Chain A
């Protein structure tokens, strides 16, 4: 397979003739991406060592590591790190675990399968602010929400979910958005599994469980790696869902790193402190990316 690809690449090169024109066509895209990724990064780093508050012009100058020190010793910061971890890990477990099971389920033939699949992947196409408000108001509102009505109908007292279990509830809302993404990707991958392979295993007398673990799961490994990578990128900086449901509260109970940085920057106007948080967010994302990209890059056809 890879030998064929390489051969055709050489062929392409020889046939059309590489040269300066290739670099010239590539240059604009590379240039804007370079500017986009380097300039803000350098500025964030620079601000993070400055005393800089938008509403207090008397405060300025080099701050050393004060912004970092102030942030790292703030209990809110530790809480936000914990919440970020809960959100990323919780949603990954739900979406990858559930997504794998649902992909296998919707790979089976049944009446109306096509429609059922479309319904399942739909939440992924709903914009985050709509998803959040749908759940906050129509579903979970303690008085008018459908779920509250159902709880009353079976004799339970409705719970104000976003007040009582803010982080768990935000996690469920985000999982509702990202589980469909996992199903979409993993279902596509399951369907590319050779029918003959499945049949051969069936004839060999492999049970459904053995078939799942020995054939389906290994086949899915690359798609799962891709899902984990892409979801991690997005989940590390979930923002809109928190902003419109809990505004990070009560207190800081549902504040993740992204929301903390936002509130430092645009609610408290503390550019220095927010930038220190930004640098930490970038470092965390890069640590995650270093592992994930390496795992996935092997699978990309380049």
Chain B
């Protein structure tokens, strides 16, 4: 009797869990499906769940001359911003984790507080500076801005990873006469590789999906995927097939990365407060 009730209860939980999950995921699933329908199938009523798949929409997206350019822009911005952010934040996180001083806590909280600056509050000066330095609508300009906005996150995340490395291991290196440079490159970096990889991944994801600066600082030349998709807003929005194909291509890699690295992302996104 009690066992039956428990089984009934767990069935209800499973049912609710699955219905909610499918409902939330449905738009993504539908986008994926629509990308294989072709334009006519995409707007058929009633909507089709079963159909003969076609790559027509993907072919059309690839044929638009700027698709590849946009993808390379996105890769350039994401990789460039991430590499530079790591170059700045690895030494900073090392200093705060292994050579903490009186001001370390204050510095970390100040870095967090720079994230509070709303991007739109500084839209005007950043736009004008970019224009006057010829960085407007360039991959370099957008990568720089993304690097600045992500720097507090990468410093924090690396700091929480570095703090988990036992000091005696670093000390052992010192005893053997390693300089600080050798200590960092030969001892710390190999030990911290998983943490650095997670940090780089989070930075890549944030840059890849960043929309505000992408829409405001780029146009035809340096537009990344986030801005490219916005160009489907009108009047091309009614080409559901192409919109879905382009969106699937833009979203798929990040979805996969996100699924793989959920745990590490939680730590980075919450500044180490939730693990």
Contact = CB atoms under 8 A, between A and B. Distances in A.
Interface of A: 8-9, 11-13, 15-19, 21-23, 25-26, 28-30, 32-33, 36-37, 39-41, 43-44, 47, 102, 105-106, 108-113, 115-131, 133-139, 143-144, 146, 149, 153, 176, 179-181, 184-185, 188-189, 192, 222-223, 226, 230, 233, 236-237, 239-240, 243-245, 257-258, 261-262, 265-266, 271, 274-275, 278-279, 281-282, 285-286, 288-289, 293, 296-297, 299-302
Closest 5 CB pairs of A and B: A22-B99, A43-B125, A240-B211, A40-B122, A110-B14
Contacts of A226: 270-271, 273-274
B17 A105 contact: yes
B125 A285 contact: no
Contacts of B171: 15-16
B155 A29 contact: yes
A138 B14 CA distance: 28
Nearest to B92: A29
A23 B125 CA distance: 30
B209 to A, nearest CB: 4
A133 to B, nearest CB: 6
B124 A265 contact: yes
Given A134-B31, A192-B275, A297-B109, A16 B167 contact: yes
Interface stretch (B52-60, B61-69, B191-199, B258-266): B258-266
B273 A299 contact: yes
6 contacts: A26-B96, A43-B124, A125-B209, A133-B232, A240-B230, A265-B123
Q: Would you call the interface of chain A mostly helix, strand, loop, or mixed?
A: helix
- Which of B21, B104, B152, B232 is the most central at the interface, judged by chain A CB atoms within 10 Å of its CB? B21
B138 interface: no
B100 interface: yes
A181 B116 CA distance: 18
B8 interface: no
Given A28-B88, A116-B21, A127-B254, A278 B123 contact: yes
A33 B152 contact: yes
B16 interface: yes
Contact of A26 (B107, B116, B216): B107
Contact of B243 (A11, A37, A133): A133
A30 B28 CA distance: 40
